[in-house]
């Protein structure tokens, strides 16, 4: 089969990681990198382009028009550009690997989905999620009832970000950018993978029980301690259509960080999956650990898209339909919270970062771990800076925002 060739839009920021991986895989004969596009090439990207004779464009539409023999486009640009760039690429006849989150709003994602259906092209989304080894292990444990009836799925992200992180790009920490929603908060960007993975695991567990699981209702509390528009500390509870309850916690304001992890609790045991693709199972007083790593995420995503294009893989690891559940839930979380609430300065210190520290919320590690153990929101735990919010129904939710104060 002919080697498939790629186009990359966005070579700075995370695009640098794509660029490096694409040239590495080109050297291995896995794919070819035909051309890249960026408004302004970094020194690093300009060096690679010059050294390897890769064509470069300043306007992605010129690249789509000039590179008709390429097969797929990787979109790695600020979130507000995802929908227009992805739709243009699909309409120009390319398959797409779209960076997460797929779009800022549910209507953006639905517009891309409509273009996927109209053009018949594939659109994969680069969410990190449990490896196929981990998914089949966890699905098998659930279908055999090894940990009993599933009581809930919980996700925990204790992260830290410097103030430089929020200054690295103009849309960082913003709700709006250039007049468009961007919704760049903790759960919509750095911890989006964790929330997506929880929804994916809910789907796998439901399938193991012969059911389906769609996000039905979300109740979320969104806070910030850093001087940003969006959230840096969030708790949310999601009710799935099959009755499974998800509880998700993230902060970018921790001093003690941990590997992000998901815990599935059953009546007869529990299991955990973490970002290193390790699965641990507790059952009948025993503990079993499984190494489920399958190699680098980008290589896996490129290979899966190429194999799907070639008809070798039956389906995408992360399809846009599957990623839509993430955006539905994320938009619903903003609606539930109505607005981002500030953590009063009396609870905020500087983090431990040596250079340009970000905000640290006093005792946030313990606060989050206790809420995680109880499956409760911060206000339900009596956290002094927390304020309750109401549930938001996701059925029939097609246009964001409704009650979230986005344009104030």
| Residues making contact with ligand NAD (CB under 6 A) | 9-15, 37-40, 60, 76-79, 81, 99-100, 126, 169, 189
Closest to ligand NAD by CB, 84 or 215: 84
Closest to ligand NAD by CB, 182 or 343: 182
Closest to ligand NAD by CB, 300 or 341: 300
CB of 197 to ligand NAD, least distance (A): 12
Closest to ligand NAD by CB, 56 or 339: 56
Tokens, residue 405: 């104060």
Quote the CA–CA distance of 60 and 74 in Å, as a whole number.
11
CB of 243 to ligand NAD, least distance (A): 31
Quote the CA–CA distance of 192 and 176 in Å, as a whole number.
18
CB of 168 to ligand NAD, least distance (A): 6
CB of 166 to ligand NAD, least distance (A): 11
Entry field: residues in the chain: 408
3-state helix, strand, coil in the chain (%, to 5): 35, 25, 40
Closest CA to 302 of 8, 13, 45: 8
Residue least distant from ligand NAD (Cβ): 13
Query: Which pairs from 81-86 meet CB under 8 Å and 24+ separation?
Result: 82/108, 82/112, 83/108, 83/109, 83/111, 83/112, 85/9, 85/60, 86/112, 86/115, 86/123
Closest to ligand NAD by CB, 84 or 266: 84
CB of 285 to ligand NAD, least distance (A): 37
Would you give the DSSP letter of residue 356? Answer: S
CB of 15 to ligand NAD, least distance (A): 5
Closest to ligand NAD by CB, 14 or 397: 14
Tokens, residue 59: 């306007």
Closest to ligand NAD by CB, 34 or 150: 34
Quote the CA–CA distance of 172 and 164 in Å, as a whole number.
10
CB of 91 to ligand NAD, least distance (A): 17
Would you give the DSSP letter of residue 340? Answer: P
Helix (H) or strand (E) holding 176: strand 176-177
Question: Tokens 């002919």 — which residue?
Answer: 2
Question: Tokens 């929880």 — which residue?
Answer: 198
């Amino acid at each position: 089969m002919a080697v498939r060739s790629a186009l990359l839009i966005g070579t700075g920021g995370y695009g640098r990681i794509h660029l490096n991986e694409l040239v590495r895989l080109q050297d291995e004969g896995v794919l070819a990198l035909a051309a890249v596009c960026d408004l302004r090439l970094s020194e690093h990207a300009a060096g690679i382009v010059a050294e390897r004779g890769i064509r470069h464009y300043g306007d992605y539409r010129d690249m789509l028009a000039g590179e008709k023999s390429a097969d797929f486009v990787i979109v790695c640009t600020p979130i507000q550009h995802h929908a227009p760039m992805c739709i243009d690429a699909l309409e120009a006849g390319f398959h797409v690997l779209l960076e997460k989150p797929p779009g800022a709003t549910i209507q953006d994602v639905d517009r891309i989905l409509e273009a996927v259906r109209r053009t018949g092209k594939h659109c994969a989304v680069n969410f990190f999620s449990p490896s196929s080894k981990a998914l089949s292990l966890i699905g098998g444990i659930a279908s055999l009832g090894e940990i009993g009836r599933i009581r809930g799925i919980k996700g925990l992200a204790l992260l830290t970000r410097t103030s430089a992180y929020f200054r690295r790009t103009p849309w960082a920490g913003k709700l709006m950018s250039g007049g468009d929603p961007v919704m760049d908060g903790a759960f919509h960007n750095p911890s989006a993978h964790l929330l997506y993975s929880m929804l994916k695991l809910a789907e796998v567990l439901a399938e193991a029980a012969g059911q389906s699981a769609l996000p039905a209702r979300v109740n979320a509390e969104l806070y910030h301690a850093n001087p940003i528009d969006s959230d840096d500390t969030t708790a949310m509870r999601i009710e799935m259509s099959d009755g499974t309850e998800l509880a998700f916690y993230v902060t970018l304001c921790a001093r003690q960080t941990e590997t992000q992890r998901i815990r599935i609790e059953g009546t007869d045991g529990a299991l955990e999956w973490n970002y290193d693709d390790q699965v641990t199972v507790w059952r009948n007083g025993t503990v079993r650990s499984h190494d489920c790593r399958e190699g680098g995420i980008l290589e896996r995503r490129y290979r899966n898209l190429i194999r799907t294009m070639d008809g070798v893989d039956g389906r995408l690891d992360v399809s846009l339909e599957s990623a839509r559940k993430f955006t539905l839930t994320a938009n619903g979380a903003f609606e539930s919270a109505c607005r981002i609430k500030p953590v009063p300065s009396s609870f905020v210190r500087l983090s431990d970062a040596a250079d340009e520290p970000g905000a640290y919320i006093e005792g946030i590690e313990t606060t989050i771990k206790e809420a995680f153990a109880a499956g409760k929101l911060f206000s339900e735990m009596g956290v002094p800076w927390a304020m309750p919010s109401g549930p938001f129904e996701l059925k029939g939710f097609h246009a964001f925002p409704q009650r979230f104060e986005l344009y104030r």
